[in-house]
């Protein structure tokens, strides 16, 4: 399992770096500190979702709801990504 967690950590760090680079690229220069602070704080909220998932699993007793909720949230994120505009 160690190799899987190592690869996951590398991928997650790459995702975080690319996300921060995107924020820096699209933020107006005078508001970059605010944008990066918001991105960091909003990302930190994700630390509580495993706890929430565990509570939902304890309450429901089935992984099915967890998977359906995850698929639904991924679909929402995917659909919202189409609203992003490309810079010329």
The pLDDT of residue 63: 86
The pLDDT of residue 88: 59
| CA 53 to chain centroid | 15
Contact status, residue 67 vs residue 54, Cβ threshold 8 Å: no
pLDDT tens per residue across span 31-86:
999 999 998 888 888 888 889 888 888 988 888 888 898 899 999 999 999 998 87
DSSP secondary-structure letter at 46? Answer: G
pTM of the model: 0.55
């Amino acid at each position: 399992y160690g190799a899987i967690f190592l690869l996951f950590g590398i991928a997650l760090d790459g995702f975080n770096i690319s996300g921060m680079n995107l924020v820096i690229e699209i933020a107006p220069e005078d508001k970059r500190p605010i944008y990066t602070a918001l991105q960091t704080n909003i990302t930190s909220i994700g630390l509580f979702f495993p706890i929430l998932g565990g509570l939902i699993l304890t309450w429901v007793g089935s992984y099915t709801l967890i998977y359906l909720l995850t698929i639904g949230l991924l679909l929402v994120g995917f659909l919202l990504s189409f609203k992003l505009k490309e810079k010329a």
